[in-house]
């Protein structure tokens, strides 16, 4: 039996929250937006060829695992990361690490997660949570989506750690092993901002970054004609689900990123970043307007309030805003 | 494997009425006056509508597959696969066999000849007994 003194705090985004809570345990205080920004978590891509729940995938974030990996690397934190083939081995390793006194981040699938809200229990393999102890085949879990601490038994935990399908977690577990005492987070912030700016405006590929938003706008205009009203509404719903749910804290991470820029402005003593953080906030509100109008369409299915052209125009507007924001951010020194 | 789709359906939605009240989440907001703020609350009604949309679509797909199983076009595996929201590549990964074999097993002609061992593996993934797999209750 081991149960570490672990402070549970909710977060908007699971992986950033896990990163913050793990660092917090090792006495490095950092906010969730800071972990997200240094980890360069913001992104956009539209993948028409990769279907999830029978509709194309839209992603507002980077690859799973990157936020923790980047943030800890840039902060000089030493980490241990494992994936496994053998489920039993992965559980033995988890027990051993917990007994050494480290809380552990786990990547899991959400379909069989017993404590998860039923409405979110789909086959989504990129969820993250923390195990902070175990007792007699029962594991103590801090999940940043949940209001309270939760528990899970051995068999269920093994099953969710070895969920199959796209982005299968393969028992992925990760934890900081050494956190330096005095960390200068300023260079890490600047590198994180540059990386995100490059992801958003520096990659010459049509489905990624700001170009990806414009690409999605273009596809959206033809949905109704190509797919019929039912399916068009379902495709739109899929974009909105990826934007507003599955742990984005709203508006596809744009709010968290704005909060990060605001905090960064203070830490770096660069007031112009504060102005940009407000532009990002306005931009996030525009995304939210898009999802609000879009959800009205989904509700009425065949008889949309707004035409898809109208929604696509909003996307073009946010693409212009984000292009302006990230071109400025790319010049940070 | 539980009947999650049963838990979340059957809840009618009026305007601005919350459908899902299981857990409150953390959200960020922005306003020119107050800057960035955080708040713990249920997912707002508009977003709940789009969550419900995907469950409704899943239910509709399940009904369509059910009809095809009843007329003998598809095997019960197709029905149970849809019921736990899987598609062929994922089910194949859980079965540890190739996708084309799973696709073959979706034909009722092939399904009838499957051996007990394969049936038992499917049943375990679907969380049901072999009897339930070979004779789903809707087939009478």
Sign of torsion over alpha carbons A146, A148, A152, A157: positive
Question: Are the beta carbons of B26 and B40 closer than 8 angstroms?
Answer: yes
pLDDT digits (tens, 9 = 90+) for A8-18: 999 999 999 99
User: To which residue do tokens 């087939």 refer?
Assistant: B139
Question: Are the beta carbons of A128 and A230 closer than 8 angstroms?
Answer: no
Q: Which residues contact A14 (CB under 8 A, 6 or more apart)?
A: A127, A128, A129, A143, A144, A145, A247
pLDDT digits (tens, 9 = 90+) for A140-176: 999 999 999 999 999 999 999 999 988 899 999 999 9
Q: Which of A117, A237, A240 sits opposite B23 (nearest CB)?
A: A117
Q: Which residues contact B114 (CB under 8 A, 6 or more apart)?
A: B105
Residues A145 and A53: their CA atoms lie apart, in Å, by 22
pLDDT digits (tens, 9 = 90+) for A265-284: 999 999 999 999 999 999 99
What H or E segment, with its residue span, contains residue B30? strand B25-31
pLDDT band of A306, cuts 50, 70, 90: confident
pLDDT band of A304, cuts 50, 70, 90: low
Beta-bridged to residue A152, according to DSSP, are A139
* Helix A271-300, helix A254-268: angle, nearest 10: 170
What H or E segment, with its residue span, contains residue A139? strand A138-142
Q: Which residues contact B94 (CB under 8 A, 6 or more apart)?
A: A164, B86, B125
Q: Is the model more confident about B94 or about A304? A: B94
Q: Which of B106, B103, B88, B57 is nearest to A166 (CA)?
A: B88
- Residue range A188-204: mean pLDDT, rounded: 93
What H or E segment, with its residue span, contains residue A45? strand A42-52
Instruction: Specify burial of residue A198 (Cβ count, 10 A radius: 0-12, 13-18, 19+).
Output: middle
pLDDT at B12: 39
Q: How many residues does chain A have?
A: 333
Chain A neighbors of B53, CB-CB under 8 A: 233-234, 237, 298
For an interface test with A, the pick among B9, B25, B99 (most A C-beta atoms closer than 10 Å) comes out as B25
Q: Which residues contact B126 (CB under 8 A, 6 or more apart)?
A: B1, B80, B81, B83, B84, B133
The distance in angstroms from the start CA to the end CA of chain A is 49
What H or E segment, with its residue span, contains residue A275? helix A271-300
pLDDT at A327: 94
Q: What is chain A's percent helix, strand, coil content, to nearest 5?
A: 50, 15, 30
Residues A310 and B52: their CA atoms lie apart, in Å, by 24
pLDDT band of A305, cuts 50, 70, 90: low
Instruction: Supply the DSSP symbol for A208.
Output: B
Q: Which residues contact A279 (CB under 8 A, 6 or more apart)?
A: A321, A324, A325
**Quick check: A252 contacting B, CB < 8 Å?**
no
pLDDT band of A261, cuts 50, 70, 90: very high
What is the share, in percent, of chain A residues with pLDDT greater than 90?
73
Structure tokens at A281: 């906030």
pLDDT band of A190, cuts 50, 70, 90: very high
Domain ranges of chain A: 2-30+78-178, 186-329
Question: Are the beta carbons of A147 and A10 closer than 8 angstroms?
Answer: yes
Residues B75 and A186: their CA atoms lie apart, in Å, by 60
Chain A neighbors of B55, CB-CB under 8 A: 119
pLDDT digits (tens, 9 = 90+) for A87-108: 999 999 999 999 999 999 999 9
How many Cβ contacts (< 8 angstroms) between chains A and B?
124
Chain A neighbors of B22, CB-CB under 8 A: 117-119
- Residue range A119-128: mean pLDDT, rounded: 90
**CB neighbours (10 Å) of residue B104?**
14
Q: Which residue in chain A has the smallest CA separation from B36?
A: A259
Name all domains of chain B by residue range, CATH numbers in brackets. Answer: 61-139 (1.10.260.40)
pLDDT at B140: 67
pLDDT at B4: 39
pLDDT of A247 higher than 80: no
**Quick check: A18 contacting B, CB < 8 Å?**
no
Per-residue pLDDT of chain B (140 residues; tens, 9 = 90+): 334 334 333 333 444 578 888 889 899 999 999 999 999 899 888 888 888 888 999 999 999 999 999 999 999 999 999 999 999 999 999 999 999 999 999 999 999 999 999 999 999 999 999 999 999 888 86
pLDDT of A244 higher than 60: yes
pTM for the predicted model, two decimal places: 0.90
pLDDT at A62: 87
Q: Which of A147, A244, A299 sits opposite B24 (nearest CB)?
A: A147
CA angle A278, A289, A221 (to 5 degrees): 120
Q: What is the CA radius of gyration of chain A?
A: 20
Question: Are the beta carbons of A148 and B22 closer than 8 angstroms?
Answer: no
pLDDT of A42 higher than 80: yes
Residues B43 and B25: their CA atoms lie apart, in Å, by 7
Q: Which residues contact A89 (CB under 8 A, 6 or more apart)?
A: none
Structure tokens at A196: 């995100």
pLDDT band of A252, cuts 50, 70, 90: confident
Classify A318 as helix, strand or coil.
helix
Structure tokens at B1: 């494997």
- Residue range A213-240: mean pLDDT, rounded: 91
pLDDT of A32 higher than 80: yes
Q: What is the fold of A2-30+78-178?
A: Cathepsin B; Chain A (3.90.70)
For residue B114, give how far its alpha carbon lies from the nearest alpha carbon of chain A (Å): 24
């Amino acid at each position: 039996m081991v149960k570490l003194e672990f402070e549970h705090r909710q977060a908007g985004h699971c992986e950033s929250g896990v990163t913050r809570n793990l660092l917090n345990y090792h006495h490095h205080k950092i906010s969730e937006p800071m972990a997200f920004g240094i980890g360069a978590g913001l992104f956009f891509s539209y993948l028409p060829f990769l279907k999830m729940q029978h509709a194309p995938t839209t992603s507002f974030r980077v690859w799973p695992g990157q936020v923790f990996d980047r943030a800890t690397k840039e902060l000089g934190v030493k980490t241990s990361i494992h994936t496994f083939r053998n489920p039993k081995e992965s559980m033995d390793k988890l027990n051993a690490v917990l007994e050494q006194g480290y809380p552990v981040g786990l990547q899991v699938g959400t379909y069989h997660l017993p404590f998860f809200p039923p409405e979110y229990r789909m086959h989504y393999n990129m969820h993250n949570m923390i195990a902070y102890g175990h007792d007699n085949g029962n594991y103590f879990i801090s999940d940043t989506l949940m209001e309270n601490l939760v528990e899970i038994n051995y068999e269920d935990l093994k099953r969710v750690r070895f969920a199959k399908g796209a982005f299968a977690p393969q028992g992925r577990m990760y934890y900081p092993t050494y956190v330096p005492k005095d960390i200068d987070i300023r260079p890490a912030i600047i590198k994180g901002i540059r990386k995100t700016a490059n992801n958003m405006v520096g990659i010459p590929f049509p489905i990624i970054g700001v170009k990806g938003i414009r690409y999605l706008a273009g596809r959206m205009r033809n949905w109704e004609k190509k797919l019929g009203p039912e399916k068009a509404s379902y495709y739109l719903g899929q974009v909105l689900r990826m934007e507003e749910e599955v742990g984005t804290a709203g508006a596809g991470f744009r709010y968290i990123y704005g909060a990060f820029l605001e905090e960064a402005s203070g830490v770096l003593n660069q007031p112009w970043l504060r102005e940009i953080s407000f532009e990002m906030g306005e931009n996030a509100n525009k995304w939210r307007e898009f999802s609000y109008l879009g959800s009205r369409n989904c509700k009425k299915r065949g008889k949309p309030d707004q035409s898809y052209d109208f929604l696509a125009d909003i996307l073009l507007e946010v693409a212009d805003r984000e292009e302006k924001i990230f071109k400025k951010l790319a010049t940070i020194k | 494997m539980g009947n999650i789709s049963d838990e979340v359906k059957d809840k009618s939605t009026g305007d601005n009425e919350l459908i899902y009240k299981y857990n409150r989440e953390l959200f960020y907001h922005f306003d020119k006056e107050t800057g960035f703020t955080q708040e713990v609350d249920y997912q707002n009604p508009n977003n709940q509508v789009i969550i419900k949309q995907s469950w409704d679509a899943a239910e509709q797909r399940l009904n369509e597959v059910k009809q095809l199983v009843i007329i003998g076009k598809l095997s019960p595996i197709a029905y149970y696969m849809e019921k736990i929201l899987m598609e062929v590549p994922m089910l194949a990964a859980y079965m540890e066999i190739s996708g084309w074999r799973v696709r073959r097993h979706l034909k009722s002609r092939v399904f009838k000849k499957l051996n007990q061992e394969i049936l038992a593996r499917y049943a375990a993934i679907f969380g049901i007994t072999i009897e339930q797999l070979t004779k789903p209750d809707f087939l009478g």
